[in-house]
């Protein structure tokens, strides 16, 4: 099947590399329509892609007759309407995570996609990391026995001088670091463990000081500005969504675990394994950066099990997105992440937010029924 693609949020930190991958994916895919809020960027993108339509109104993209696949790459709070409109018009969908601002939106989107019978993909890229895929194989082979505990740490530090972006803003971001890297972490655990958490206990906080406020800039601009300006007299703005979160998870099987996620500058990465899995027969650690897996089945220190080469994701659309969509169009089962995964991860995200606000355990089933 050939795809005529419309991209909403076409020129931002996410949209720009995605469009490059689409252009490099072959003659059976083409960018037809683009939507972005900044005209100068939109015109450059249109020239790069050879797009027929350049619009500031996402509805024009969704309604374009030659568009049969819509990419929704906007801030979290702007996903719902384009997704619903695309589903109603029978357009296939790629929607960035988190799906929406809360579980109600995510459930409604998933139901709309199901009813329309359109193909769908949600970019939980972490499940494609070779070291995590190997960990999944070892778990399913029974190498660790019955899993009893895990520890997941994901620190994605941003520069101390980096300005305020929509990811710091509760009116646009679903739940800050919990919804951003936390959603990746939870989806990866679902992928490896094959089990949903039953309840969570969370502590979240904004630990970074107020940031320079430059207005509506994207992440790439914020990172570049932060590198060039180590100090600034700009007005500042405090983040309104957490940039740090620690979550305890409890499972019906008796397994327990913890996830720590952060975008704070102070929590740097590369100091230890990102993931530890502990079972009745052995324990496994996964160092994503080094691609190293270590194993222990006795009180002795863990030994290196293997190193998994990771040359990067490559062209994600060519390798994963388009094959996943074509599989779903053909009615095949797929291990690629889709809208149902987005909904289930949103249940986790909302439960974490509710737990942090309430100061106690929250059952995921309680949140799912909202």
**What DSSP assignment string belongs to 187-244?**
HHHHHHH----SEEEEEEE--SPPEE--SS--HHHHHHHHHH-SS--S-EE--SS-SE
- Residue-averaged pLDDT of the chain: 95
User: Token match 């931002």: residue?
Assistant: 12
Name every residue whose Cβ is closer than 8 Å to that of residue 277 and which is 6 or more positions away in sequence. 135, 139, 144, 147, 149, 150, 192, 283, 284, 285, 286
Q: What percent of the chain has pLDDT over 90?
A: 89
Mean pLDDT of the 2-7 span: 98
Peptide bond into 57 cis (omega under 30): no
The pTM of the full predicted model, rounded to 2 decimals, is: 0.96
End-to-end CA distance of the chain: 38
Mean pLDDT of the 241-259 span: 98
- Beta-bridged to residue 261, according to DSSP, are 154, 245
Q: What is the pLDDT of residues 165-221, one digit of tens each?
A: 999 999 999 999 999 999 999 999 999 999 999 999 999 999 999 999 999 999 999
Residue 186 is predicted with a pLDDT of 98
Single out the residue of 55, 57, 120, 112 nearest to residue 80, CA to CA: 112
Single out the residue of 151, 126, 121, 140 nearest to residue 310, CA to CA: 126
Residue 232 is predicted with a pLDDT of 66
Residue 231 is predicted with a pLDDT of 67
340 token code pair? 């149902």
pLDDT above 90 for 115: yes
pLDDT above 80 for 80: yes
Element (H, E) at 76: none
Residue 236 is predicted with a pLDDT of 92
- Identify the CATH class of 3-124+315-334: alpha beta
User: Token match 């520069």: residue?
Assistant: 159
How far CA 192 is from CA of 85, 278, 340, in Å, comes to 33, 13, 17
Single out the residue of 80, 89, 95 nearest to residue 117, CA to CA: 89
Q: What is the pLDDT of residues 269-282, one digit of tens each?
A: 888 889 999 999 99
Q: How confident is the model at residue 299 (pLDDT cuts 50, 70, 90)?
A: confident
pLDDT above 80 for 233: no
- Residue 230: how many CB atoms within 10 A of its CB? 9
269 token code pair? 């990465």
User: Token match 């909202």: residue?
Assistant: 370
φ, ψ of residue 191 to 5 degrees: the values are -65, -40
3-class DSSP assignment, residue 172: coil
CA distance 366 to 220: 38
Single out the residue of 27, 28, 23, 24 nearest to residue 46, CA to CA: 23
> Do 126-313+346-368 and 3-124+315-334 have the same topology in CATH?
no
Single out the residue of 95, 212, 175 nearest to residue 356, CA to CA: 175
φ, ψ of residue 31 to 5 degrees: the values are -85, 120
As a CATH number, domain 126-313+346-368 is 3.30.360.10
Single out the residue of 165, 185, 170 nearest to residue 274, CA to CA: 185
| Helices of type H across the chain | 15-23, 39-49, 58-63, 80-88, 103-116, 130-140, 181-193, 219-228, 316, 322-329, 339-358, 364-368
Q: How confident is the model at residue 253 (pLDDT cuts 50, 70, 90)?
A: very high
CA distance 135 to 152: 13
In this predicted model, which residue has the larger pLDDT, 179 or 232?
A: 179
Domain ranges for the chain? 3-124+315-334, 126-313+346-368
């Amino acid at each position: 099947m050939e795809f005529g693609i419309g991209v909403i949020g076409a020129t931002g930190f996410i949209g720009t590399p995605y469009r490059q991958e689409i252009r490099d994916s072959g003659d059976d895919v083409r960018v037809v329509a683009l939507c972005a809020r900044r005209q100068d960027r939109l015109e450059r993108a249109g020239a790069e892609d050879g797009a027929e339509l350049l619009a500031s109104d996402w509805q024009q993209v969704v309604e374009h007759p030659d568009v049969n696949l819509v990419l929704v790459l906007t801030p979290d709070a702007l996903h719902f309407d384009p997704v619903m409109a695309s589903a109603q018009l029978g357009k296939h969908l790629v929607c960035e995570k988190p799906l929406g601002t809360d579980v109600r939106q995510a459930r409604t989107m998933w139901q709309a996609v199901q009813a329309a019978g359109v193909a769908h993909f949600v970019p939980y890229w972490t499940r494609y990391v070779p070291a995590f895929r190997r960990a999944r194989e070892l778990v399913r082979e029974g190498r660790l026995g019955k899993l009893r505990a895990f520890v997941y740490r994901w620190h994605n530090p941003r520069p101390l001088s980096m300005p305020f972006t929509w990811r710091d803003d509760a009116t646009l971001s679903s739940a800050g670091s919990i919804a951003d890297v936390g959603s990746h972490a939870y989806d990866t655990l679902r992928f490896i463990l094959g089990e949903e958490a039953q309840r969570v206990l969370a502590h979240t906080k904004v630990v970074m000081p107020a940031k320079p406020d430059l207005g509506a800039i994207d992440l790439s601009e914020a990172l570049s500005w932060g590198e060039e300006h180590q100090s600034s007299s700009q007005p500042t703005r405090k983040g309104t969504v957490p940039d740090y979160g620690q979550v305890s998870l409890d499972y019906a099987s008796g397994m327990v675990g913890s996830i720590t996620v952060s975008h704070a500058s102070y929590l740097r990465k590369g100091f230890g394994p990102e993931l530890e899995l502990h079972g009745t027969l052995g324990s496994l650690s996964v160092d994503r950066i080094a691609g190293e897996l270590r194993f222990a089945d006795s009180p002795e220190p863990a030994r290196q099990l293997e190193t998994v080469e990771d040359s990067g994701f490559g062209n994600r659309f060519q390798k994963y997105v388009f094959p996943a969509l074509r599989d779903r169009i053909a009615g095949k089962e797929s291990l690629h992440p889709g809208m149902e995964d987005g909904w289930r991860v949103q249940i986790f995200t909302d439960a974490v937010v509710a737990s942090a606000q309430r100061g106690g355990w929250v059952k995921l089933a309680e949140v799912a029924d909202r």
